[in-house]
Amino acid sequence: MKFKNLIIALLFLIFPIVGIAQVFGDGPKYDPVQWTGEVEKVSETEYILHYDAVIEKDWHVYSQFTPDYGPQPLRFEWIHAENADYTLDGKATESPIEKEYSEIFEVEEWFWKEDARVSQRIGLKDNKTTLIKTILKHQSCIDVCINQEFYIVHDLKKKEVSVFTDFNDFEAFGVSATTEVKENKMEPKSKDSEEKKGLWTIFLLAFGGGFLALLTPCVFPMIPMTVGFFTKQSKTKAAGIRNALIYGISIILIYVVLGLVVTAVFGADALNALSTSVVFNIVFFVLLIIFAISFLGAFEIVLPNSWANKVDRQADRGGLIGIFFMALALAIVSFSCTGPIVGTTLVQAASKGGLAPAVGMLGFSSAIAIPFALFAMFPGWLNSLPKSGGWLNTVKVVLGFLELALAFKFLSNADLVLQAHLLEREVFLAIIIAVMIGLALYLFGKIKLPHDSEVNHISVGRLCLALLTTAFVVYLIPGLWGAPLKFISGFPPPMNYSESPYGVGSTKNGIASTDAIIPEGAELGPHDLLAFTEYDEGLAYAKAQNKPILLDFTGYACINCRRMEERVWSEPEIFNLLKNDVVLISLYADAKEDLPKSEQYVSETTGKRIKTIGNKWSDFQIERYQVNAQPYYVLMEHDETNLNTPVGYTPDVDDYEAWLKEGITRFNNN
């Protein structure tokens, strides 16, 4: 009994414990500082740009000259578009400031209260320049500090100033179809499209999980019981349909609320870090192992009986409240079967961030609610349902084997991030093969588990699934000797993370020979492509080789990164472009190696302490591209401006090839 209670506590406490720091770390969501501006014309080629701030009472904004090791100072980023050619005349001047010694930072702080003016003199190089675009960043503090960012445009011709808080509006202001902003270039529409596609994938996978949960012994037998209840309680057919709809909506509402709770607990910024966190992955490895053992029949994960009893009493009240509590009773009573699937769905969705957990629960609950509602509306359909029996437990056991295989993916993620090489590709595949062999033997009836019924023969459907599992095992086995296994690319560790990176008995056959001299800051990446892991060294090498730069924001535990490398980069046309026409710089956003103390700093973008190499590259990506997702690809000039629009996960080989060729052609034509 103590073990069961421990499991319950783990299930209900793990999500808040992991996310609580992010919840309490969030600062105010309003803007305590408002910026305006002014254009002052000195001559035909000289202007003074004024930036004026109104600061809310008791708040401070820190001067650009505030001493080091104190609060973050105000700073500018000057956006030079093709129609803006000018020079800065010295440092921006400031209105009077206040100074006060800080016991916290042990330095003298320089700051403004109530209002501030910062002025920058510029000189025009031509008479075509009309718009000056700047990004103004600063820290606003009271009892807490928040980072603020404003996008400001000075129109020299109209002597008007526009202030934006949305980068997309700022970027589009005054930009014609042929004008290219060379810094902070991004494509929000494609990013939104990728996010929507990802949410649809989560919804469909969760819907499939909900359908499997429907076929478990805790849920399926409850369909006729529910239909009987509505048939007796509803006086007319219309009332029965109405009550069934309310029942279905209540089921969806209960699970979506659970998803929204997870969404609220896990902040979007924290999720990217959590998905690559060693602790996070090991915790969920243990959690999924417990789920799998439960499904295999060792024990049941159940909620306290007192919960079900209290809910049942509320369901007896009738009316809308009674129907809602009936739906809640279904969720509680069926928890021993649905809990592991719900937990797995939430784990997978939580690692995606944003509304993914809520979308996942919407898909899961819809698959359960729709059949219950339809059978309640049309009781005659019950005659077409298969009878309950041992096949329901078979579904549950199959899910247990799948949970077991999935659990080792989380352990693999932790090993990849640590680069510990304890669970390399061959070991990982051996474990998955063993699990799948166990599943195949179970389906063939050679293995029996605690809750299985006695059967004299296996069904045709079970035989087909057993044969399919056996075929999958046969497909996996060559992977132990170096086969690429593209069908499951991204799931096992990459080819270069193995005991025999080139296959058993094979030698190096990539682009680099064994005696090749690898430049400083570089290594042999996927398919032996020369990849720099240090930005400055890669940039210098690209200049020396006179090639464009392919900036690859990636991660050791990034599944879509591996899919791109194994399915797209391996194609001959892509491989040749990466090998011969670009210099690859791969920056790992989840690298855990500590930066030297002298190189650690506080991010001006997020306000977080940058301690590891992964922190550094993640902060670099956020600051320059306003994106924190992997994979993310940028083709760059030697002056670090973009050759075309950066892209994320692009599984279509033709699309990725066209994108590469577009940037390379622009570089060669410059």
CATH of residue 656's domain is 3.40.30.10
Specify the pLDDT at position 588.
92
The predicted structure's pLDDT at residue 18 = 33
Average pLDDT over residues 120-148: 81
pLDDT (0 to 100) of residue 374: 77
Same structural domain for residues 349 and 235?
yes
Q: Are residues 87 and 39 in the same domain?
A: yes
Structure tokens at 136: 């103004």
Structure tokens of 299? 């024990």
Which pLDDT score, from 0 to 100, does residue 24 have?
33
264 shares a domain with 380: yes
Higher pLDDT pick, 472 / 361:
472
pLDDT for the residue 1: 40
212 and 100 within one domain: no
Residue 76, strand partner residues: 136
Structure token pair of residue 327: 């739906």
638, part of any domain: yes
Domain end call among 370, 388, 406:
388
- The reported pLDDT for the residue numbered 39 is 92
Q: If pLDDT is split at 50, 70 and 90, which confidence band does 511 have?
A: very low
The whole-number pLDDT of residue 486 equals 84
157 found inside a domain: yes
Structure tokens at 467: 């044969």
The b/e string for 493-511 (b: 16+ C-beta within 10 A; e otherwise) is: bbbbbbeebebeeeeeebb
- Report the alpha-carbon distance of residue 323 to residue 313 in Å, rounded: 12
Q: Are residues 11 and 42 in the same domain?
A: no
pLDDT tens digits, one per residue of 17-26: 333 333 333 3
503: left (phi over 0), alpha (psi -120 to 50) or beta: left
The pLDDT score that the predictor gives to residue 209 is 77
Phi/psi of residue 471, each to 5°?
-60, -40
Residue 188, domain member (yes or no):
no
Per residue in 309-339, pLDDT (tens digit) is 555 555 555 556 667 766 676 666 555 556 5
Angle at 103 (CA atoms; ends 99, 106), nearest 5 degrees: 80
Q: Are residues 125 and 93 in the same domain?
A: yes
In a domain, 617, yes or no: yes
19 with 67, same domain: the answer is no
Instruction: Assign residue 157 the CATH number of its domain.
Output: 2.60.40.1250
pLDDT at res. 377: 73
Tally the domains of the chain: 4
**Distance from C-alpha of 425 to C-alpha of 606, rounded to nearest angstrom:** 36
How far, in Å, CA of 341 to CA of 107, rounded? Answer: 54
Q: What is the pLDDT of residues 552-579, one digit of tens each?
A: 999 888 888 888 998 899 899 999 999 9
Q: Which residues of 5-21 are buried (b: 16+ CB within 10 A; e: fewer)?
A: eebbebbeebbeebbee
- Domain contains 191: no
Residue 574 structural domain: 522-669
Residues 315 and 458 in one domain: no
Judge if 336 and 221 occupy the same domain. yes
Domain membership of residue 145 (yes or no) is: yes
Q: Which residues contact 113 (CB under 8 A, 6 or more apart)?
A: 55, 59, 60, 98
Whether residue 291 is contained in a domain is answered as yes
551: number of Cβ within 10 Å: 26
Domain-located, residue 401: no
Better pLDDT: 633 or 212: 633
Indicate the range of 87-91, 125-129, 181-185, 627-631 predicted with least confidence. Answer: 181-185
Alpha carbons 35 and 52: distance in angstroms, whole number: 6
DSSP code string of 427-477: HHHHHHHHHHHHHHHHHTTS---TTPPP-SS--HHHHHHHHHHHHHHHHHG
- Do residues 51 and 163 touch, judged by C-beta distance below 8 A? no
Residues 255, 372 share a domain: yes
Q: What is the pLDDT of residue 516?
A: 55
Tokens representing 218? 């805790």
Distance CA 364, CA 356 (A): 12
662 and 527 inside one domain: yes
Question: Residue 631: which of 606, 611, 665, 656 has the closest Cα?
Answer: 656
Angle at 363 between CA 360 and CA 366, to 5 degrees: 145
Domain limit, last residue, from 334, 364, 388: 388
Burial environment of residue 451 by CB neighbours within 10 A (0 to 12, 13 to 18, 19 or more):
middle
363 and 464 fall within a common domain: no
Angle between helix 319-333 and 222-233 (nearest 10) = 170
Task: Please report, for residues 45, 182, 324, 652, the alpha-carbon distance to residue 83 in angstroms, rounded to integers and kept in the order given.
Answer: 15, 11, 62, 35
Q: Residue 186, Cα to own-chain centre: how many angstroms?
A: 18
For all residues of the chain together, what is the average pLDDT? 76
